[in-house]
A and B are shown apart, each in its own frame.
Chain A
Amino acid sequence: MAAPITIHLEFGGGAELLFSGVKKHHMTLPSQSQPWDMKQLLVWIQQNLLKERPELFVQGDSVRPGILVLINDADWELLGELDYQLQDKDNIVFISTLHGG
């Protein structure tokens, strides 16, 4: 069994509007047999935090196009994207791309 972990979730660039406008969320993920990965985190967010219109946040098993995922201030592409295994106290940011000028 993997012990519960606490993570810091952040939403920005407008993505926070899908979460009642709240940018920062301090969350505890329950213990489970396997370590938590990003794929499971997305499902967990959808079930526990995202109330309305999931299509504005997820597409298939990943985030929708136009949302960039950052793990501890690095592009998640550098860390294995959906397969990244979450560590206690990780900082995960979902940032919607801005287009205005």
Chain B
Amino acid sequence: MAQEVCSLKAQLREKEKEIADLKNKLAQLEKSHTSTLELRDRVTPLTPLKAKASLSNEDIMRYSRQLILPELGVQGQLNISKTSVLIVGCGGLGCPLAQYLAAAGIGHLGLLDYDEVELSNLHRQVLHGEDNLGQAKALSAACAVRRLNSTVECIPYHLQLSSENALQLIQQYDIVADCSDNVPTRYLVNDACVLSGKPLVSASALRMEGQLAVYNYHGGPCYRCLYPVPPPPETVTNCSDGGVLGVVPGIMGCFQALEVLKIASGQGSSCGQQLVIFDAQDARFRCIKLRPRQAGCVVCGENPSITHLADYESFCGSAATDKCRKLNLLSRDQRITVQDYKSVMDSTEPHLLLDVRPPVEVDICHLPCSVNIPLSSLEERKIEHLQLLQERIRQVKQQMAGDCLPPVYVICKMGNDSQKAVQVLENLSGSEVDSIMVKDISGGLMAWAKTIDPTFPQY
């Protein structure tokens, strides 16, 4: 009996030690797991990749279907596993790119994005899910990539790429992929890649079109060789204004993954002096032969004047985000607030509410009594629309007493186009149509949805 008690106590002690050891092991594992996925808000040095001398049996099985391609082979796979890639922007391009690079066994994957996941991102930014709303995109993408391939070392950066941090960050990577969504960042990434001698796999997408090129690679041009002067800010359209079919950046991001993997494995990219243009409507790719590196280029030419990174937002005249700009074209007395318009509506004062959005957006949502004439029709002075306008102005006039000018309130989505429309209408007033009193509704339908009617859809 006493012997049995002793033996059981000894067994218990042993099991308790085993449990303690297991707990310890688990804690350590969990610690290392979260530490590698620790979101970074500044640039820190990367731990160098240990070059693999050979593939493990697990590697061989995991990558077997690409390993047996003569274009890749064991050496190509080993090369991929020791390559580090920085993805600038974890959006519509960055998500599929990160996914395929991780799946293919890339070594280090830097994932950079300053933004958080929003509901309107999910149709194209396919690494983020409903559970990630509000989360940093870099972290959300890193977690998704980790589930796919835990052997890939992911470094999520929740920060805005800037002149101060770009060089330090980019110098640590072998290949850079530009998946950003704005002009200043594209120039910044380009210059940082030229100054640190890194190939830049760049793509962009909007509406039903995509473009791709590899810059600063094997004697080919850099972004500035092709576009020495930034476009006027008013000619640049972002995805929230112009729209984009999710699969279009998906295709372009996959194309970027292809070129990155070709460079990483040692095959080399075929897009070094070539622009690929994708037209989703016609289902057509077009390959354009580009100019070579330009001797006169200010950053990669023979006598470069750009030797350090400068202020890219002032160079481009726009902010380094794709958030919509707020125009201020009118004086205060030419604009009313949504609250003011609500009072006009409630007072049943005769007026005309003109919605100047394109018909496709009016189909999504509109205020009940609005008349739709798109800004472009006003700018082009389309006859049928001017007639409609004139007719509606007359109707308002008939309901009014006295000699007051008929009030016309102009609305759009955000309050930018409506300001332009007010300017056009002021020119039309008294000449092509009867004299009117025209005012912009500041902040547009989105302000209406936020402050007056929470049931009104936002898009």
Contacts and interface: CB of A to CB of B under 8 A. Distances in A.
Given A13-B211, A75-B289, A101 B203 contact: yes
A26 interface: no
Nearest to A55: B232
Given A65-B230, A95-B277, A97-B227, A14 B288 contact: no
Contacts of A13: 206, 209, 211, 277
A37 interface: no
B288 A73 contact: yes
B211 A98 contact: yes
Contacts of B228: 65
B334 interface: no
Most buried by A among B180, B226, B237, B242: B237
Contacts of B226: 68, 75
A66 B186 CA distance: 13
Interface string A71-95: 0011101100000000000000001
B308 to A, nearest CB: 23
A97 B231 contact: yes
A75 B288 CA distance: 7
B204 A66 contact: no
A10 to B, nearest CB: 10
A59 B226 CA distance: 17
A78 B277 CA distance: 18
B181 A100 contact: yes
A12 interface: yes
Contacts of A55: 232
Interface of B: 89, 91-94, 178-183, 186, 203-207, 209-211, 226-232, 234-239, 242, 244, 249, 275, 277, 279, 286-291, 322, 379-380
B316 to A, nearest CB: 10
A56 interface: yes
A96 B238 contact: no
A96 B230 CA distance: 12
A97 B288 contact: no
Contacts of B291: 75, 77-78
Contact of A74 (B232, B235, B288): B288
A38 to B, nearest CB: 15
Q: Which one of A65, A73, A77, A100 has the greatest number of beta carbons of chain B within 10 Å?
A: A100
A6 B173 CA distance: 50
Interface string A53-66: 10110000000111
Interface of A: 12-14, 51-53, 55-56, 64-68, 70, 73-75, 77-78, 95-101
6 closest residue pairs by CB, A with B: A66-B231, A65-B229, A98-B204, A77-B291, A100-B206, A101-B181
Given A66-B231, A70-B288, 20 more contacts: A14-B206, A14-B207, A64-B231, A65-B231, A74-B289, A77-B291, A95-B277, A96-B235, A97-B211, A98-B210, A99-B181, A99-B182, A99-B236, A100-B237, A100-B239, A100-B242, A100-B322, A101-B92, A101-B178, A101-B205
Contact of B205 (A51, A74, A96, A98): A98
Contacts of B206: 13-14, 98-100
Contacts of B205: 98, 100-101
Contacts of B211: 13, 95, 97-98
A16 to B, nearest CB: 10
Nearest to B249: A101
Contacts of B379: 52-53
Contact of A66 (B94, B227, B249, B275): B227
Contact of A65 (B89, B227, B244, B288): B227
A78 B186 CA distance: 24
A100 B238 contact: yes
A13 B236 CA distance: 11
A100 B207 CA distance: 9
A21 B326 CA distance: 26
A68 B256 CA distance: 21
Contacts of A52: 379-380
Contacts of B287: 73
A50 to B, nearest CB: 12
A14 B236 CA distance: 9
Given A12-B209, A99-B204, A75 B179 contact: no
Given A14-B242, A95-B277, A101 B289 contact: no
A77 B237 CA distance: 25
Contacts of B89: 101
